[in-house]
Amino acid sequence: MVEPQGRQAKNSEAGGRDRGSSSHDADEDWQTHGALFGLDLGTGAHSGLDAGRGVADCYDKEGGEWAVQQVITLISEVTSSSQPENMLRENDRGHTELFYSGQHLKLQQLKSKPIRNNYLHKRIPNYPEEVDFQVTKLRHNTNLQGFLGIWDSEGFTKPTRSISPKHDLVWWSPDISREDISNAEKQYLDDQDVEKAFLHRFTTSPAFLSSSRMGNFRFSMSIHELLRSYQQQFCAGQKPDIRTFETVVYKQEVMYSIVIHAPRARNLFSEYPLLKDTQDPACVFHENTIIWCSQAMCKIHSFRLSRNMKAIRIPVKAREEYMWDNIGVAFHVPHGTVFRFSKEILYKSLRLCEGAPPKLSTEEFVECEFGPLRP
């Protein structure tokens, strides 16, 4: 019996990112249901309907039976055309989020959807597009309460029961170093000579920062170690399945998630395609490495990229905020079990990190000097 697990609940990525109701470092609720789909049931105005065809039009003909049938047909058209693949849900913080299940939709694909989001449709200054980052480490951020639960239980779990067993997930995100950014720049340039490094000028979204919006405690581990431990504990030595999970659209963030689960849980996740079978994916797995094709690396663009690959500073008054993307890696940890690591491994992987707004937990950030944690 592991009593302290409850302390991880809603203030860490293990508990706060319940896929049944939440997903990632989410921005605040930003749309109503109708606005998300461009739908107005009162007038029948919708991208899938003729402008003049409202519900009232169905009563202009003679014959009540015809009118009733036309109303049914009209409502069917509206509902089927407005939300065939995307859905809304309420996350743990009580905000509405839009998600597309079983697919990773690139930004250009999302722009073609009936999503009313000014950040998504903004024209971005010239920047390095679709840069591939070789992700070899993942990080799990939490606050003090979550840290104590993880430390006492010697591992990660979602301590509260989900609405579905497939939502018992422990969430991690890329831990990208300066060296990773430098290597991505070299690959992006494909041996072109440039005077100065420039990619670090553009990797400024929360996905690349050393700070955290979840709290001050960070566990960072290699993908190799995470997969090896997961395989031993949950897969009876077999390789886990890695699947395309969701695309989640927030106010200013698009998150592409993948789910890792044991072979015996295939019945829970069979609706999600294996990651390797996905065409033009936002990320792929290859030999303990996630290759992430980032499409939007800046939350605020302070520079633009010139034709000769130079970072040109944008005047402060002209700087704007834009959409940024990220990936989330979810390990399926069935309710009542713990993704275990020894205290020695937890200690070696633990760091303090600076808190960054907007704060995504109810606990206040810790004020201290940030670096390796020492007892």
Distance CA 330, CA 173 (A): 9
The DSSP bridge partners found for residue 197 are none
Q: Are the C-beta atoms of 274 and 239 separated by less than 8 Å? A: no
Q: What is the pLDDT of residue 144?
A: 84
Phi, psi of 104, deg, nearest 5: -110, 110
- Please give the model's pTM, rounded to 2 decimal places: 0.74
Order of strands, sheet of 283-285, starting from the edge strand that comes earlier in the sequence = 131-135, 290-294, 283-285
DSSP 144-200: HHHHHHHHHHTEE---SPPSSGGG-EEEEEE---HHHHHHHHHHHHTT---SS--GG
User: What CA–CA distances, in Å, run from 330 to 93, 227, 309, 353?
Assistant: 19, 12, 36, 22
Q: Are the C-beta atoms of 352 and 41 separated by less than 8 Å? A: no
**375 residues of the chain, pLDDT tens digit each:** 434 444 444 445 544 443 333 334 444 444 334 444 343 333 333 333 333 333 333 334 444 444 545 544 444 444 444 444 668 888 766 778 899 999 999 999 999 999 989 999 888 888 888 889 999 999 999 888 888 999 999 999 987 778 889 999 999 999 999 999 999 998 888 856 676 788 888 998 888 887 666 777 889 999 999 999 999 999 998 999 999 999 999 989 999 999 999 999 999 999 999 998 667 778 999 889 999 999 998 888 888 888 888 888 988 988 888 999 999 999 999 999 999 999 999 999 998 876 555 445 555 546 655 444 433
